Structure 1
Amino acid sequence: MDFQDLVKFALICFDSLAWPLFALGYPLHASIQAIEANSNTDTKKLVTYWIIFSLISLFEHAFMGILQWLPFWPYMKLMVVGWTMIPRFDGAFYVYNHFVHPCVCVDLPTIIVWLKKLQVFFLDNFLLMNMSRFIDHLKL
């Protein structure tokens, strides 16, 4: 076994072990410590991380057909999860506050008004399309 084979083997092992160790191992350990220490701030940070981790996993599951064509997807995912996990960066808080929270905290009347506008738009377009077909059919 020469040096190149040793490097390839090390990269293969890193690739297969880094994701579970970084994404699951350390946060699980930190979650247990936060529960045992009864720390509200650490618990809030870890719950935020698990929310973001779940969203990343759902995104990956939903778009796996597209993501498998990206050769660096596992490394990009590892970098994003590392950024969200490391307490110094508070990446999970950033992602939650800037992307998840605005989607979750939309008030119900705004959504209802938006859905009614969509309903009117699609209903009008549907009626116009079918009326033009009907008129064309009558002309024949």
Structure 2
Amino acid sequence: MIVDFISRALVVLLGYAYPAFECYKTVERNSTDVEQLCFWCRYWIIIALLTVFERFGDVFVSWLPLYGEMKLAFIIYLWYPKTMGTTYMYETFLRPNVARYETDIDQVIGEFKAKAWNMAIFHVQNSLKFGQTTFLQFLQYLANQSTAAQEPQKPNLLVSRSPPNDTVHVQEQASEAQTPESYMADVIHRARTKRGPRDSHPNDQ
């Protein structure tokens, strides 16, 4: 585990950081060395292809013993001043094969760019529609919440209906059927009953 981590760290430092700094110095020199600049351009082309193949090939070859060490040794071989493996790899393997299939590669890249552009436009349009719909729904939700807050809350009164007073109704019907004399006697009797014996007047007895 530690050995693998060290190998990956060395690959990043010696394969990317150091060559990037050397390329920077070559570009920023007052008298630009064309040969040196071409060398570093070829190096980055090889590294880019190696990185692409690694994304698919690491699954099949990463289990090999000393795989990280071999990759690190190959990277150092590419830029080491005494070996200059970049020039050999580019002139022997990369340049002849790419020159042979350059037209086909350009056609495939052109078709891929067109499809990628159409797909990007399609996703952007769908994203805009979804964002617009979501925004309108959010505004509608805020409007509903504001309307609900402004409306006065009506108290929920529970109206209990008392059963009809059948006794009073019967008494009223009975009183309607009575004569005026009996009705007055009945009213006096009710008044005496409500006042009680203490409230009754001596003349009423």
TM over 0.5, shorter chain: yes
Aligned length: 102
Distance in 2 (CA, whole Å) between partners of 1:98 and 1:19 is 24
Paired position in structure 2 for 1:29: 21
Q: Given the two structures, how large is their TM-score scaled by the length of structure 1?
A: 0.64
Kept after mapping to 1: 8 A contact 2:42/2:87: yes
CA apart distance, 1:13: 6.0
Distance in 1 (CA, whole Å) between partners of 2:101 and 2:85 is 26
Aligned with 2:100: secondary structure? Answer: coil
What RMSD, in angstroms, separates the aligned Cα atoms of the two structures? 2.4
CA apart distance, 1:14: 3.5
- For the pair shown, the structure with the greater C-alpha radius of gyration is 2
Distance in 2 (CA, whole Å) between partners of 1:50 and 1:12 is 24
Structure 2 residues without counterparts, runs of 5 or longer: 105-205
Structure 1 residues without counterparts, runs of 5 or longer: 1-7, 112-140
In structure 1, give the amino acid aligned to 2:16: L
Aligned with 1:30: secondary structure? Answer: helix
Q: 1:66 to 1:28 in 2, by over 3 A?
A: same
Bigger relative contact order, structure 1 or 2 (CA pairs below 8 A, ≥6 apart):
1
In structure 1, give the amino acid aligned to 2:75: V
CA apart distance, 1:74: 0.9
Structure 2 residue 58 is the aligned partner of structure 1 residue 64: yes
Identity of aligned residues (%): 24
Paired position in structure 2 for 1:114: none
Kept after mapping to 2: 8 A contact 1:31/1:46: yes
Paired position in structure 1 for 2:76: 82
Task: Compare the two structures and name the one with the higher helix fraction.
Answer: 1
